[in-house]
Structure 1
Amino acid sequence: MKILVTGSNGQVGSCLVKQLSQMPEIEFWAVDRTQLDITDAAAVAKLVNDFKPHAIINAAAHTAVDKAEDEVALSYAINRDGPQWLAEAANSAGAVMLHISTDYVFAGDKQGEYRETDAIDPQGVYGKSKLAGELAVAAACPRHIILRTAWVFCETGNNFVKTMLRLSQSRDELGVVADQFGGPTYAGDIANALITMAKAISNGNQSFGIYHYSGLPHVNWHLFACEIFKQAKSQGLLDKEMNVKAITSEQYPTPAKRPKNSKLDCNKILQHFGIQASDWRAALNKLNGYL
């Protein structure tokens, strides 16, 4: 089996490379933005035609939520146009297209967990551009998997866990938002889910479409921060108690509106592929890797 991975330097991309490197039965080609500009349709078509993958996993994205409000054209180029060119190339090559999307396609005001069939209503440029990418992928390649996820973290890149650990080195007190809820999701688990789905499709599973995948249990950012500091202290990385104050979204204003509810229902991916929700607490067991 041959897999093309884009966005190889990102959180999910780096985990995909690490895991695929341990699978001799899979030939993979991983590219970052310097090796492939996914917004260049001709370059995408040539690379896919040369490599002839059975699956393309697009882990490339413009994920700077606040910057996206000002970088509108760039957001759509990376989050909509790039996925479209990849999906068109995948379709031409007879490959399955696996594309990562986000909880930001929803308004975030629902009570309870979001299902794949719930109404979409993105509130900012990032969410709107990612939704445009979903629609472009679905239109260009019938054999597609769109994987919506949320609150991604791992040992590489910029994420909430690394930010909390960094701030704890110089501060004793932090205010963390407590009125936004979701499921922290370890990027390594997302990578594993994508590889599992690609393998299943290669073996005849035809369950294409949109899937939700994130972590359990659902928490707010304040509770997530408290668990990070608890784990850091127990692992000897923190020699003090952090005073974590619960604040509201209004007390921490940002250029882009954040969803109050990012809880994703992950039953569909379990039913069709046997993939369990991410155990984010287990992913905090070795926090020294985040420093």
Structure 2
Amino acid sequence: MRRAGALALLALAGCAAPPPGGGGIVSLNPCADAMLVELVAPERIAAISHYSRDSGASSIPPEVARRFRTTSGTAEEVIALRPDLVVASSFTPPATRSAFARAGIDTLYLDMPSTIAASRQQVLELAQAVGAPAAGAAMAARIDALPPPPAGPPVPTLLWIGGNMVSGGGTLLDDMMARAGLGNAAADYGMRFTGELPIERIVARPPRVMLVPDGPGQDADSRAARLRARALEASRALEASGAHVMQAAFPRRLINCGGPVIPQAMKRLAEVRRSVEAGS
């Protein structure tokens, strides 16, 4: 309900313009975007990442992303906005970091958390940086409310991101799958982290469950649609082989980030686990 209320307020606010004369928060990190739109009032956000306008990279609804200015991420463009705070990725190039430092811009660099606990901590870190500790605590509480792992052995599951990419171990998605009672089948193919996996290897040794991105929707030319095409090809190959693999949709927007996305992703993963048990 809190998330729905936050999104409703954004819809009523209309397109959020950068504060006159500069100021506000500029985010260059799509996962920070997903947190910021729920942590602070829209008028405090001077710009979000251009990735949040890309359905293959965004974790926020497109109608919300369209209400904010975006940047291409160049130091010159960001500095011209004269923000109070820049939220960037730990992968930000050294030259860009130096430019922000020379301009005297406060910058928070966020890494890519690989566990639910680390993502929760990142929520609190960002909330503290933007002066919204109460909102951060509420977001963290929703993560704390996740149910414990179900009883029984984990169900071998392959999470297909798109293209030839599958989610491997040592990632946030891997931690969420384990929490939902779904064992990451990427290890069965010798994979430790997220990487490319040929369809032929999946057909030769199919998992019990394969999570695939949701359908292309109206934007058939989007990056997300192109990413889904390969996963759907794998689905057809498994069907043709006669392998008994449960295939379940896992929305692309739940793959990219943690924070407020975790409860939504865990809800879907729990639904998949229950479907497996019902079909056993």
TM-score over 0.5 for the pair: no
Asked which structure has the greater RCO (Cα within 8 Å, sep 6+), the reply is 1
Structure exhibiting the larger radius of gyration computed from Cα positions: 2
Alignment TM-score, normalising by the size of structure 2: 0.29
Alignment TM-score, normalising by the size of structure 1: 0.29
